[in-house]
Structure 1
Amino acid sequence: MDTPHTPHRERPSEEPAGQRPVRVGLVGAGPWARVTHAPTLAAGPETELVAVWARRAEAARELAEPHGAVASESFAELLETCEAVAFAVPPAVQAELAVRAARAGKALLLEKPLGPDVASARAVSEAVTEAGVVSQLVLTKRYHPTTRDFLRRAAGHEVSGARSCYLHGAFLGGEFATSWRLEHGALLDLGPHLVDLLEAAVGPVTRISGTGDPRRWIELTCEHSGGAVSQASLSGAVRLPRANTRVELYGPEGELTYDTAELEHSECWPVLRAEFAAAVRTGRPHALDAAHGLRLQELLARALSS
């Protein structure tokens, strides 16, 4: 028998909405939800984790209880308890449930890719637009101060060409070697991060092509609106002591390099949380929204079909 749910503590009604933490429900109870989403959303003060729903009820309870949240018995029940929904599930599950959440008027904190294919990603983006709800992507590195400093410097740097990579060995085994990652490979899992960084640093991608096997190693070549050309190497199946994410910009002024080797990823989460809560409370779309996620997925699909 399920254990009784702990009633959620209602906040005083006289507290201004802009000052109340955003009440977030979390979908998923896997490793990424345990390590990142739940502790980040529960830490506040901008957000409050109020509920968790997962396919396995026991996993949802085990994740919810230490953070003072309840385990919802259904996705519909989770929607009734929150004003925003965060997703930490495979792309196919996210694509289906995010559409339902948007239609229910909930703000969305989304993983990448939005869905397993462009059609499902477009359905999410269109649902967000039609419902007029706020959405935001967990493109982790974009929330780190070091990344933002690099992008500020890149804005004033004339770029002729760029090289980049995102490489690790997580697909070789362990809890992150999940079935959807093994099926789709690095292009859909790592590609959104790297193509997003290249667009932000070099300019919009106008043409993209790819070669290789996304499950082993894939190489992308991008042409950018300003005339620069960039290359991106992606793999989740190479044995490395740690993930290697690097962007090198070259031009008449010299080299500008971004490297995540020394980054503390824990510095990303408070920024992400604060910006998501601000977007929800103001109703102003975040730059890294579902429409941006759709654009990234369309680019990656073009690379795969080239």
Structure 2
Amino acid sequence: MTKAIRIGLLGTGPWATRTHAPALAAHPDVDFSGVWGRRPDAAAGIAAEFGTRAYEDVDALFAASDAVALALPPDVQAPLAARAAAAGCHLLLDKPVATSVAGAREVALAAEKAGVASVVFCTLRFAAATAPWIEEQAAAGGWYLARAHWLGALFSPGSASAYAASPWRREKGALWDVGPHVLSVLLPVLGDVTEVVAAAGPDDTRQLALRHAGGAAASAVLSLSAPVAAASAGITLHGDRGQVDMPRWDDAVGSFAAAVDALLEAARTGVPHGCDAWFGLRMTEILAEAEGRPAA
């Protein structure tokens, strides 16, 4: 691509306002083409703040864009993403792509049929500290065991998180909100999941036991209801080289900008990114199995 790509934003919540919009507005290779949301007043506010246009008609935004970034609840995202792909827009998706296998498959098939690129914004796959670490561990191999925990405090007394007001997070819990973060690391490093078992803990806490195609075992404890003082996240690998801990990460805006770069590269070259809509579908299949629902 020799000129700025026009990218529109779908969504007006805190994730869109704090991460997507600032990154799109600042990216040197992006023309931030507009904002659409289910709350037109919020879309207008984002558009005014970041120097773009608010759209009331989502199809008009698709027509004015080469790609769209989505910051919507997963089961609102999926049908709109498929619709955007059919309109010829490349897709920068949020995780999870959908909470139903059918919804996630619809997105992947729509992108394939339209010949558009797709990237799922799993933060750890694009953060400056963790992205190269994941690539290094995947290349090294020889892993025997992985231990992951992601203990958020969104729903705990004393939490001031803006994301606690999210209805879909309240309904679906940690399995679907932070489970994709963990899977986005474990799958490229340990291989596909061949078996998953889930056990319930307090509140929305879930503990997963995973078997991977390469033979390694993994465990993951996920929660959005941990005490504020206990909130933390990390992944540790054990193998031929001993024990290796994933580095800490931050800078969501910078990570999203890197995801934009990945989408631009996939669109330019036609080479699918490793964290594309098909990868998003696979994560949804695993999480649906962990939830005890058939993969239909």
Does TM-score exceed 0.5, indicating one fold? yes
Long gaps (5+) in structure 1: 1-17
- The residue aligned with 2:197 is 209
The equivalences for 1:142-161 within 5 A come to 142-154=125-137, 155-161=139-145
Normalising to structure 1: TM-score of the pair?
A: 0.88
Whichever residue aligns with residue 39 of structure 2, its letter is: R
Corresponding residue SS for 1:108: strand
- The residue aligned with 1:91 is 74
Alignment match of 2:274 (pick from 270, 280, 287): 287
2:67 is the alignment partner of 1:79: no
Corresponding residue SS for 1:200: helix
Whichever residue aligns with residue 42 of structure 2, its letter is: A
Structure 1 position 219, deviation (Å): 0.4
- The residue aligned with 1:304 is 291
Normalising to structure 2: TM-score of the pair?
A: 0.91
Name the larger-Rg structure. 1
- The residue aligned with 2:45 is 62
Structure 1 position 251, deviation (Å): 2.2
Corresponding residue SS for 1:146: coil
* Distance 1:215-1:79 versus aligned 2 partners, 3 A rule: farther
RMSD between aligned residues? 1.9
Alignment match of 1:162 (pick from 132, 143, 146): 146
**Contact in 2 for aligned 1:186/1:214 (Cα 8 Å):** no
- The residue aligned with 1:6 is none
The equivalences for 1:196-275 within 5 A come to 196-212=184-200, 216-241=204-229, 244-260=232-248, 263-275=250-262
Corresponding residue SS for 1:171: coil
Whichever residue aligns with residue 34 of structure 2, its letter is: A
Residues in 2 aligned to 1:181 and 1:96: alpha-carbon distance in whole angstroms:
19
Residues in 1 aligned to 2:11 and 2:131: alpha-carbon distance in whole angstroms:
29
Alignment match of 1:101 (pick from 78, 84, 109): 84
Residues in 2 aligned to 1:220 and 1:77: alpha-carbon distance in whole angstroms:
43
* Distance 1:143-1:218 versus aligned 2 partners, 3 A rule: same
- The residue aligned with 1:10 is none
Structure 1 position 241, deviation (Å): 5.0
* Distance 1:213-1:123 versus aligned 2 partners, 3 A rule: farther
Whichever residue aligns with residue 216 of structure 1, its letter is: D
Identity of aligned residues (%): 38
**Contact in 2 for aligned 1:121/1:297 (Cα 8 Å):** yes
**Contact in 2 for aligned 1:184/1:215 (Cα 8 Å):** no
* Distance 1:210-1:79 versus aligned 2 partners, 3 A rule: same
Corresponding residue SS for 1:245: strand
Corresponding residue SS for 2:163: coil
Corresponding residue SS for 1:187: helix
Residues in 1 aligned to 2:112 and 2:230: alpha-carbon distance in whole angstroms:
38
Structure 1 position 240, deviation (Å): 2.9
- The residue aligned with 2:95 is 112
Whichever residue aligns with residue 274 of structure 1, its letter is: D
* Distance 1:39-1:243 versus aligned 2 partners, 3 A rule: farther
Residue-pair matches, total: 288
Alignment match of 1:127 (pick from 86, 99, 110): 110
